[in-house]
Amino acid sequence: MEVSDIHVGKQLQVDYSPQGVVPIPNTAFLTGAAAIPGTGFFNGAVQIGSPVLFPIHTAALMVSRPDPVSNPLAFKAPSIFHVRGLAPGVVNPLDVILGDPLGPVGITMSTSVVLEINLVSKTTESPLEIDLIALMKKIGVKVDTGAKTESGAKAFAGAEARAGAKSHAGVTITSGSNITAANVTGLTVTDTGGNVLSAKKNFDIPHPNKEGWRLRHACVEGPEAAVYIRGRLKNNNVIELPEYWKGLIDYDTISVNLTPFGGKDDLYVKDILDDRIIVAGNHLSNVNCFYQVWADRLGEFVVEYEGQSPADYPVDQSDHSIAGYHYDVRN
């Protein structure tokens, strides 16, 4: 059948079912007397625009510009896709929705996208905050792969690498008022009298995969007796804490770093319990991230104190072990 104009007064349905089988009803727009007027339902695919730009079936909704030869009047429209709200100044965060926790979606952008944003107003978007500049033009697309992740604290994985490192010959170290110069030789730092001021805490082992080589690493130093766990959450939002942490760490010092994997997610710590940490975000049913949990051990820890040797430490240090000192003086 070919007609020039069709007016559907209430609802248009394009559906299919085998002969003798009742089609699956459309529950979103309802049907019959309860149907929402001015609605259309298509149980299939829809193509809008030029008939030649999509030579094969690639999506449920395929949109392009109209063909300029066969339909020049429609081709004159300046835009392919245009979304407009009800009235100026009325902004609804739900005006445009892409995906949700029950149906997450992936987005692929061509490397030749031209992005122009004319910002009228800005509010804090939740759960994903997007900073927009009043007028921003970007030719091409910028792709960040695990570039910077912030969730609570700032975490860097492979933070910074530089070729051509900076070196200083002749190091001067000032500590208090009685040391004005020091020599740096290998792994130790000594004052001008030859007394050891500090030493790097290293381990040195045979290289795991290079014959005739060795591997040396040093310990991380900081103003706390910290312990940590790390791992990965996949389709799970609970970080299990070790049982031995009870009585070992101060729970008030716990910090958590979360790094989403495979895409952006607004992850955050919802609760910290004695035996686990609850993570929340956009996709609770599909959480995929790496985590690090740090905490300080119980007990008083003094970073700077007056004295001539570790024996002058002002608080109980029975559970401390000072490399290069306690190994020599303890039985």
Q: Which residues pair with 182 in a beta bridge?
A: 191
| Locus of tokens 């910002």 | 119
Average pLDDT of 306-327?
78
Lowest-pLDDT range, 19-23, 60-64, 190-194, 266-270?
Answer: 190-194
Strand partners, 233: 289
The pTM of the full predicted model, rounded to 2 decimals, is: 0.40
The answer to whether residue 179 scores a pLDDT higher than 60 is no
Beta strands in 161-248 (DSSP E): 182-185, 188-191, 196-199, 202-206, 214-218, 226-234, 238-240
Q: What pLDDT is stored for residue 96 in this prediction?
A: 87
Q: Across residues 99-108, what is the average pLDDT?
A: 86
Pick the more confident residue, 38 or 102.
38
Residue-level pLDDT at 328 = 53
Q: Are 276 and 238 in contact (CB under 8 A)?
A: yes
The single-letter DSSP state of residue 328 is H
Which tokens is 230 given? 């790390």
Compute the average pLDDT of residues 135-159.
Answer: 43
Residue 47 to residues 26, 247, 287: CA-CA distances in angstroms?
Answer: 20, 64, 34
Confidence band, pLDDT 50/70/90 cuts, at residue 181: very low
- pLDDT band of residue 184 (cuts 50, 70, 90) is very low
b/e for 97-122, b at 16 or more Cβ within 10 A?
eeeeeeeeeeeeeeeeeeeeeeeeee
Query: Which of helix, strand or coil describes residue 73?
Result: helix
Report how far residue 294's alpha carbon sits from residue 289's, in angstroms, rounded to the nearest whole number: 16
Contacting residues for 65 by C-beta, under 8 A, at least 6 apart: 49, 50, 53, 75, 77, 80
Q: Which residues contact 246 (CB under 8 A, 6 or more apart)?
A: 274, 275
pLDDT of residue 254: 95
**Average pLDDT along the chain:** 75
What is the rounded average pLDDT of the residues 231-249? 91
β-strands 46-48, 61-63 pairing? parallel
Q: Report residue 114's pLDDT band, with 50, 70 and 90 as the boundaries.
A: low
Decide which of 201 and 20 is more confident. Answer: 20
Average pLDDT (118-144) is: 45
* Token pair listed for 212: 């005739």
pLDDT band at 157 (very low <50, low <70, confident <90, very high): very low
Which of 102-111, 192-201, 204-213 has the largest mean confidence? 204-213
Report how far residue 225's alpha carbon sits from residue 36's, in angstroms, rounded to the nearest whole number: 65
Lowest-confidence pick of 26-35, 95-104, 157-166, 260-269: 157-166
Average pLDDT on 119-142 reads 44
- pLDDT surpassing 50 at residue 260: yes
Q: 3-state SS of 230-280? A: EEEEECCCEEECCHHHCCCEEEEEEEEEEEECCCCCCCEEEEECCCEEEEE
* For residue 217, pLDDT beyond 80: yes
Q: Is pLDDT above 90 for 292?
A: yes
pLDDT beyond 80 at 142 = no
